[in-house]
Amino acid sequence: MIDGFLKEIANMFDFTRKDACEMMRSFQIEMENGLKGRKSSLKMLPSFVRRPKGNEKGDFLAIDLGGINMRILAIRLLGQGKIETIGMKRFSLGKEIISKTEDVFFDFIADCVSAFLKEHKLDVFLEVGFTFSFPVIQTSILSGVLVSWTKGFAVKGVEGHDVVTLLDKAFKRKGLENLKLVALANDTVGTLVTQSYINPLCDMGVILGTGTNAAYPERLESITKFKGMWYSEEMIINIEWGGFDKIKMTKYDEQLDKDSENPGGQRMEKMVSGRYLGEIARRIMKEAFEKGLLGSKELKDIFLKPYSLTTEQLSLIASDKNIFNDSGIEGISDKDIRLLKEIGQIVSKRAARIASAAIAAVLTHMDKELKLEHVIAIDGSLFEKYKGFKENMDTMMKEIFPNQADKIHLSLTHDGSGIGAAIIAASLSSH
């Protein structure tokens, strides 16, 4: 019975080479439409940033906000691709913060910054790069309006408003007079910029964490919707690929989407990223219970509650750690744990394969015949920590490009999202 169920699930979640090729085609059409300002599920947002030269220098503060763990960093750029982190601290944004109002939210950020500056005895004048990893329409390097929250954030009074102005006001309220906001960036842009500061072959930044997205440098003449002034022939585009909606969905994806806080939005993100993989697996496990396929009744409560199974737990199970050891739940059979592990594998394998297909689509948009070497900067816990995720991505890449996959280098880029904002800030004074 269980084998039959698993087989059915595996078939449903199978993402073949053919699916990948179809997805690449429609992804590229959506990219073109987005660049032209036509209707598209890919926003293709101009970032007002180009790749750095590697000689940018100076001390900067970076605020990296894109999930419930906000990071604040003091960064020293030494030129020649060298970066020193003077200080770094994580602050957790609890549920009460991410669902409150705009002033409570930004005051909290300003308080964290203030605590960080005190701890590191930083009372000098500092330029600040702000990484804000949500879909933002920028009108300059220092202004951007939040289109809509993603990843479960729901702070009132921010959508439709300029997030730089909101943060700046909070800085003023908290008396942080020695700070000057100079740059606003998405985490994918920061990650791309950080890796290309170190390695000029890098031409793509990807996040595979709580959310997912990517950025790449586009020729200015191809961004026909862009009517502003820009001093370079290239501009990095924040694709916002989490919104891509031309992939076949299973009934589990449909239901998850319907029950989510943003139905219809972030379709690809809901199939790929860390915020959702545990939830997809939970929904499948719940069905296994209902079908009487599981032995341990005690588990039922866990699988009844939405989002009670996290991707982190799924990842632990993938590495053969027993997440139920400390839960007080007894009598969980090995068979049930094995089922959960298999389901985790099916769900994460599809995610990795979709991610590779999306990368392949962007690469062949930039370099049709794949003539050049490409370094892809990737950050995020899925890519870094989930057992087998990178391997699944590599396998898909080889299936898509049987003879050229060795030209594609997936390179883990730690803390790139925050450091990148500092590099962008530095590049503003150097061009």
Catalytic residues: 71, 133, 187
Which residue number, 45 or 299, has a Cβ lying nearer to ligand BGC?
A: 45
For ligand BGC, the binding residue among 150, 194, 250, 345 (CB under 6 A) is 150
For ligand BGC, the binding residue among 46, 66, 144, 205 (CB under 6 A) is 66
Determine if 47 is a binding residue for ligand BGC (CB under 6 A).
no
For ligand BGC, the binding residue among 56, 107, 168, 240 (CB under 6 A) is 240
For ligand BGC, the binding residue among 41, 47, 186, 427 (CB under 6 A) is 186
**Least distance CB 148 / ligand BGC (angstroms):** 8
Which residue number, 45 or 110, has a Cβ lying nearer to ligand BGC?
A: 45
Q: Are 311 and 271 within 8 A, CB to CB? A: no
Which residue number, 189 or 302, has a Cβ lying nearer to ligand BGC?
A: 189
Tokens of 307: 């989002």
Residue nearest to ligand BGC according to CB distances in the complex: 211
Determine if 133 is a binding residue for ligand BGC (CB under 6 A).
yes
101-109, 133-141, 322-330, 408-416 -> range binding ligand BGC (CB under 6 A): 133-141
Which residue number, 24 or 146, has a Cβ lying nearer to ligand BGC?
A: 146
For ligand BGC, the binding residue among 50, 51, 71, 151 (CB under 6 A) is 151
Over the window 242 to 271, marking each residue x when it contacts ligand BGC by CB under 6 A and - when it does not, the resulting string is: x--------------------------x--
Determine if 43 is a binding residue for ligand BGC (CB under 6 A).
no
**Least distance CB 26 / ligand BGC (angstroms):** 20
Rounded CA-CA distance 75/126 in Å is 11
Tokens of 256: 């998850």
Type of residue numbered 260: S
What residues form DSSP beta bridges with 212? 208
Determine if 418 is a binding residue for ligand BGC (CB under 6 A).
no
Residue 1 C-beta-side C-alpha neighbours within 13 Å: 9
Number of residues in contact with ligand BGC under rule CB under 6 A: 17
Determine if 64 is a binding residue for ligand BGC (CB under 6 A).
no
Which residue number, 55 or 99, has a Cβ lying nearer to ligand BGC?
A: 99
Closest CA to 414 of 163, 191, 158: 191
Which residue number, 146 or 294, has a Cβ lying nearer to ligand BGC?
A: 146
For ligand BGC, the binding residue among 213, 311, 348, 392 (CB under 6 A) is 213
Over the window 303 to 322, marking each residue x when it contacts ligand BGC by CB under 6 A and - when it does not, the resulting string is: --------------------
Determine if 188 is a binding residue for ligand BGC (CB under 6 A).
yes
Over the window 323 to 352, marking each residue x when it contacts ligand BGC by CB under 6 A and - when it does not, the resulting string is: ------------------------------
Closest CA to 141 of 149, 150, 132, 154: 132
Map the footprint of ligand BGC across residues 268-297, applying CB under 6 A: 269
Please count the other Cβ atoms lying within 10 Å of the Cβ belonging to residue 264: 11
Which residue number, 273 or 345, has a Cβ lying nearer to ligand BGC?
A: 273
Rounded CA-CA distance 205/223 in Å is 19
Which residue number, 51 or 151, has a Cβ lying nearer to ligand BGC?
A: 151
Cα-Cα end-to-end distance for the chain: 65
Q: What is the binding site for ligand BGC (CB under 6 A)?
A: 66, 133-135, 150-151, 186-188, 207, 209, 211-213, 240, 242, 269
